[in-house]
Structure 1
């Protein structure tokens, strides 16, 4: 299945120009692939979808049924040392295995530290899949692999999102004309 997942990423994003692998105690290996497309760099996880995400309250985990996902982060290149995001992305991708979290659109994932050195972001908002990389259908009974875009959030944006919701934060970003790919962007105004 990982081969099919990587093939889908390559079809949508081109050939990766770098890759790194991270293994955490008690988890399977997560790779992060780097794709350069003009001034935009995309980082995609590979390995998160190996196992379906399962409800942590379920008595047993089904090895076939359950949502599967990979994560995709897009940033403008040359403005910050974003290549240091490889390990933090792998940490986020391991969250379902380590913490029993089901990643879905509208969810927040928080590292508690900057995504890369000097980044004003320590959290990400999980956006709707399907725009950049189409879902990868798998044979029954497995669910499709969905490729979730990640939108970096400042600490204040993450706190505001917890109170007002993901849709309200996205509306603020849109109204302010926020460039969510800018690795040095300022936080969106949240007062009022």
Structure 2
């Protein structure tokens, strides 16, 4: 499915410009996952973006399905946006690759509203060990593929503190996003504190 990845990379470059760095990581028994870094531009201010490339090579399959369909099924790549210069966020490359490999490794279907846990800080000193998967279609438009292939969705990742992740498990993704919005939370701040959860 290298042709799919070529189209995915072209869509990323159209939306985000030329990457200024990229890293490739291969996990045992999985295809290679690349993470592309897009430096802050004049349009984005001080925002640096990281996008995976490789997750969409194969459709995600429900682990309860008796037979995996090699063509049909949701496809996605992950996109993380953070403010540059406030933390060593380039260390997020490996955790991002781990998350992107999770459909192949663990049989996960990554979809909006899901929580993904890395089990470690996203970067040194980060108050986040997990992310909330947000809806696609904003920063990078969905990429339509020829039938019968499903489109590739570029899913934004919103870092969560452990308390936010625990609260989200009980209250749901929509409630957490509404709370972030109500408190004016800067979800791109790599050093932000958790949103108040008691009021």
Normalising by structure 1, report the TM-score.
Answer: 0.99
The answer for the alignment partner of 2:68 in structure 1 is 61
SS of match in other structure, 1:37:
coil
Please give the alpha-carbon distance, in whole angstroms, between the structure 2 residues aligned to 1:80 and 1:18.
17
The alignment's C-alpha RMSD in Å is 0.5
Normalising by structure 2, report the TM-score.
Answer: 0.96
Q: Which string of whole-angstrom CA distances, capped at 9 and with x for unpartnered residues, describes residues 119-138 of structure 1?
A: 00000000000000000011
Q: 8 Å contact 2:40–2:84 — kept in the other structure?
A: no
Gaps of 5+ in 1: none
Shift of 1:156: 0.3
Q: Which string of whole-angstrom CA distances, capped at 9 and with x for unpartnered residues, describes residues 127-181 of structure 1?
A: 0000000000111100000000000000000000000000000011001100000
Q: Give the alignment partner of residue 96 of structure 1, picking from 79, 103, 121.
A: 103
The answer for the alignment partner of 1:149 in structure 2 is 156
Gaps of 5+ in 2: none
The answer for the alignment partner of 2:193 in structure 1 is 186
Shift of 1:11: 0.3
The answer for the alignment partner of 2:18 in structure 1 is 15
The answer for the alignment partner of 1:163 in structure 2 is 170
Give the number of equivalent residue pairs: 192
Runs of 4+ in 1 over 6 A off after TM superposition: none
- 2:176 pairs with 1:173: no
- 2:82 pairs with 1:79: no
